[in-house]
Amino acid sequence: MRKELRLRRAQLFDKTYKEGKSIAAADVVLCWLYLEPGIPTRAGFSISKKVGNAVTRNRVKRRLKSILESAADSLRSGYIIVLIGRPPAAEAAFGELKKSVRRLLKRAEILEGDQ
Grade residue 20 by pLDDT with cuts at 50, 70 and 90: very high
Confidence label for 83 from pLDDT (cuts 50, 70 and 90): very high
Question: According to the model, what pLDDT value does residue 115 have?
Answer: 46
Cα 99 to Cα 96: distance, rounded to the nearest angstrom = 5
Measured CA to CA, the distance from residue 41 to residue 55 in angstroms comes to 28
Interstrand relation of 21-24 and 42-47 (parallel, antiparallel or unpaired): unpaired
Give the tens place of pLDDT for each residue, 24-62.
Answer: 999 999 999 998 888 899 999 999 999 999 999 999 999
The predicted model scores a pTM of 0.91
Q: Beta strand 42-47 with 28-34: parallel, antiparallel or unpaired?
A: unpaired
Compute the average pLDDT of residues 6-10.
Answer: 88
Return the amino acid letter for 81.
I
Per-residue pLDDT, 114: 54
Running DSSP on this structure, what letter comes out for residue 89?
A: G
Residue 67 has pLDDT above 80, yes or no: yes
- All structural domains of the chain: 3-107 (3.30.230.10)
3-state SS class at 70: helix
Q: What is the mean pLDDT of the chain?
A: 92
